[in-house]
Each structure stands twice: as structure tokens, then as C-alpha cells.
Structure 1
Amino acid sequence: MDSEGQLAERDGSPDSEKEHEGRSRSSRAPARTGEPVAAEPASARRLPRWPAGGGRGRRVALLAAVCVALVLLVSGFVVQPFLIPSGSMENTLRPGDRVLVNKLAYRFGDDPRRGDVVVFDGAGSFHEEEPSGNPVTGLLRKAAAAVGLAEPAESDYVKRVVGVGGDRVTCCDKRGRIEVNGQPVDERYLHPGDSPSRVRFDIVVPEGRLWVMGDHRDASRDSRDYLGAPGGGTVPVDQVIGRVEWIGWPIGRWSGVPRPDAFASVPEEPGGIPSAASGGAHG
């Protein structure tokens, strides 16, 4: 048995222990002044502390930016707040109301129906297309309108669908009611004191277009005012932004905007041949 060899393995001289201890301590201790220090990798210095760090202010700013992006995304494709700018739809909608417009209502094969309250882009039908102004200002205004904080674009309108493609819409029968395909319509949603129309007209709505009117007939510029324009006052279906589903503000007016049953008995086929469209701008 080689006891001398075993002792040599277990036994450590004081010098060796001191040397080992010195190496261990030196590896843990900071370098002395004047000694070279390993440089921090440039990639590590460039790593941003944002968004994980950077202070509370930056985290709040990031959260706000994410929330705004989500709101704009939802407003652009699903539901858009819309500020009612005028009284043309009273009393159903009042100036200052903020409504929620369902932008998916007509995206999967469904078309606007008689009685629906819709928001549409009237450029080219109700509103002459104008050259765009400052793009930055336009973008900011569009973003504010998308969340209901600003009035919509001048070419955006909110009206009620009275006739769809193929319908014959006339005014008026002996009791002053509008007729759709020969069927008189009792429009109980009209503003109190308004007649269905002070302008007489007789028109067949082209396919793919809509005849729209405001509920406050004496204060609404609608299809009647554009009888002599291209399209005869009708609006292309593909210009419809969405259907008004709810009144979201003010709180006291929280309610849905359902389709009325006034058009339930209207036949699908028009009866008779329309005469030449008559009428003009109404007051």
C-alpha cells in the first residue's frame, strides 16, 4: 500500500492553499486601478431597456399606444363610433349623439334593407369629390373621427334606407304617405310635425343602389335633393360604411336602433311603370 502517495494527495502545503485562495479571491474581487478590464460587448450596450424597462412613464406611453392601435383597428374593421353632426335624423338620432356603426353588417353577403339606418360615403353622389388637403391634418381628423371625438368627414352621411335596388318609390298617396312598390308606408319614426315629403317624386331605384331619407324630413338633405344628379339621388351600396346599431352616448340615450316594421308588408316587385321623376330641392 503506497501510504506516502495517499498522504501526498490529501496533504496540501500551506503555500498551495494560499496560492489557491489568492486565485479564488482575485477572480471575485474587482480589478485594481490601472489593470485592464474586459470591455462590455457592443451588442449588450445597444440592447434597449424599452419596453421592458425605461421607467413608469415609458411603460404608460407604450400601453397607451397599444390601446390606441387596438381602438383604431376595431374602428377600422368592426365597430366605429360616429358623431351625429346634425338634426336630419331626429328624433331617432340627435345632434351630439355618438352611435356605434356595425361595419360587418353587410360584409358577408347581406345587403342593406328597407328601414335600416346606415352611414355611407356620399362622395360622387351626395357630395362632390374634392382634392385632398394637408395629408397630416386629414389623417389626424380621420383618426379623431374614427373614435367619435370629431365630426365625420363632410362626405359621410347618416340616413334611413327607404328603397333598395328594383323598388319603385313614390310620393305621395292621398293621405300623404310614401309608397314603396305600391304599398303605403306608415313612418312612425318621423320627426313630430313633419310630412313624409314636401317634394313629389316617382323613381325606380337602380340595382345596387339605395334611396335614402332622413327622419326629420323638413331638415334633411337626402335623395330628394339630388334627383337631377347622376344616379337620380340614389347611393351605391358599396359606399355604405355600416349599419347604425346602438346609441352609445350620452348615457341617458343608451339604446339600440332596430329596424322598424313599417316596411314589413312592402311587396318585392314594383307595381306599374314610373312616370318621369319630378321634384327639386326641398327646404
Structure 2
Amino acid sequence: MTKDRPDSRPGEAQDVPGTVGDELPPGAVPEEEPPARRSRGAFVRELVVIVVIALGLSFLVKTFLAQPYYIPSQSMESTLDIGDRIIVSKFTPQHSSLHRGDVIVFKDPASWSSGPKPQQPLLKRMVKDSLIFVGVLPGGGDHVVKRVIGMPGDKVKCCTKTGKLTVNGVEITEPYIKAGNAPSLQQFDITVPAGAVWVMGDNRGDSADSRFHDGSSGGKLGSVPMDDISGQVVAIAWPLDRIQSLKSYGNVFARVPKP
């Protein structure tokens, strides 16, 4: 026969040792409460942090290492086609030497300006410029892609009796020129100014390059200032069937002496 606790009444439930409200017996392990669900606010905060970190890393890569650009015209065919996405190294010429034959991206020089360009709606332009700034979208627009033919001080002339260019008096054979194109149909004889390069498109018959913008200035207006160069094109990243590194053509200019 059991004896009721003094403070209990008949029919009342009695506390059972080890349940809530009683001390656990020696050696017992308390049950863990199920983890609380993360609030929607916490998820949003984490997502924002991830996006900010991703954009920050993208900006750093774009600023100091490499940046994507797209090809809007046919002036570099067949090396680069319309719609190609290219990777541009920021190390050249900022931290490594530029060479004849390199393909570069540069800002449209002031001497090449052809007047104001049509403007997109303000909001669309701001969003696009912001995404390009952090490196999410490929650049383009006011940037130009060409191949370096003459370095500072070089004397570039067209053309010999065989229709080829000469650099510092040495005739060069250019395998990168689009099939069916002559090295140049335009005669010129220029000297590249200090701190600038002479550039030409691989599609020589359809490229508004240094020749087009120079007029009769002897190389002063058509040459591109080094300060306007964004970097060297090192690879095609898109489309998938065109992914490749860009071939170096240093051998084309191997016999060219210093100016």
C-alpha cells in the first residue's frame, strides 16, 4: 500500500522523477530541444553578405587581374568574331611588357573621337555600367580591340612592291590577316610617337584603325596612347566551341630591329 504525498489530492497527477519540474537523477542526460527555425531575416542577411563578397571579389579580379569584354564588330576577324567573349589580362602593359603582335583592348582615344554616341535610358545605363564596373558584365562600347603593329619609335610603312608592311625597314609576313585581305590598301609612312602604339585590325579591309584616324599626321593622331590601354587579350572564353588561348605572333616581328 502506498502513501500519498502530503500536498497531493486524490486524482491529481503526480510528478515523476526525471520529468520537467524535477531534478534529473545522477548520470541522466537532458534532452536537447529541437533547433529553432532560422528566421527569414537571417537568411536574407546571409544572402546579402554572400552577394557583397562575390561582387567584391569580382571587382578585385576585374581591377587587378583580368576582365571580360565582348567583340561588337568584324574588324578583328578571323581571329575574333562578333559576339566572342574575351579575357583581357590587366598585367599588360601595367606590369609586363607589351610586344608587337599582341592583341590589346583600349579606350577610344580622344584623337579617334567621332562625335557623341547614342545614349541609352538613364536607369538602364546606370545598371549596365555598374555591372560592368564590378566585372559581372563584359565591357565593350567605348573600348576597341586591335593588334599592335608598331611600338614607340617604330617606323611603319606600307607597302612594298610585294604589298607587305615594313617595320623599321624589315618586311613582315602577317599570317593573322583575314583570308582575302591585303595588308593594307591605304598607303602610309609613319613614326610611332613616344608613349604610344600603332594598331591595326586583322580584317584589314574593314577596320577603322590607326590608318583611318591618322590622316596626314605621320602617326601622331592614329597612334594609341599607352595610358588608354586596358590590357592584353589572352583568351576567348565564349562561345564554347571557340574557347582557346590567343596565339602569340612574336615570330612575325623577330627580325625587326629596335628603332
Aligned position for 1:125: 111
Q: Deviations over 1:233-266 (max 9, x none)?
A: 1110111100001111112111111320211111
Secondary structure at 1:89 match in 2: coil
- 1:258 partnered with 2:244: no
Relative to the length of structure 1, the TM-score reads 0.70
Change (3 A) 1:62 1:129: farther
97, 100, 105: which is aligned to 2:87?
100
CA distance in 2, matches of 1:67, 1:148: 10
- 1:1-283 to 2 correspondence within 5 Å? 54-108=41-95, 110-127=96-113, 138-146=125-133, 147=135, 149=137, 152-154=140-142, 156-228=143-215, 231-260=220-249, 261-269=251-259
Change (3 A) 1:83 1:229: farther
Code of the aligned partner of 2:140: P
CA distance in 1, matches of 2:138, 2:66: 16
Higher Cα Rg, which structure? 1
Code of the aligned partner of 1:183: V
C-alpha deviation, 1:99, in angstroms: 0.7
C-alpha deviation, 1:151, in angstroms: 5.4
Work out whether residues 75 and 202 of structure 2, in 8 Å CA contact, stay in contact via their aligned partners in 1.
Answer: yes
Change (3 A) 1:135 1:75: farther
CA distance in 2, matches of 1:229, 1:153: 27
Q: How many residues align?
A: 219
Work out whether residues 123 and 129 of structure 1, in 8 Å CA contact, stay in contact via their aligned partners in 2.
Answer: no
CA distance in 1, matches of 2:214, 2:52: 46
Code of the aligned partner of 2:94: R
CA distance in 2, matches of 1:142, 1:76: 15
Change (3 A) 1:135 1:129: farther
Code of the aligned partner of 1:251: L
Q: Deviations over 1:63-82 (max 9, x none)?
A: 12321221122112210001
Gaps of 5+ in 2: 1-20, 22-38
Code of the aligned partner of 2:223: T
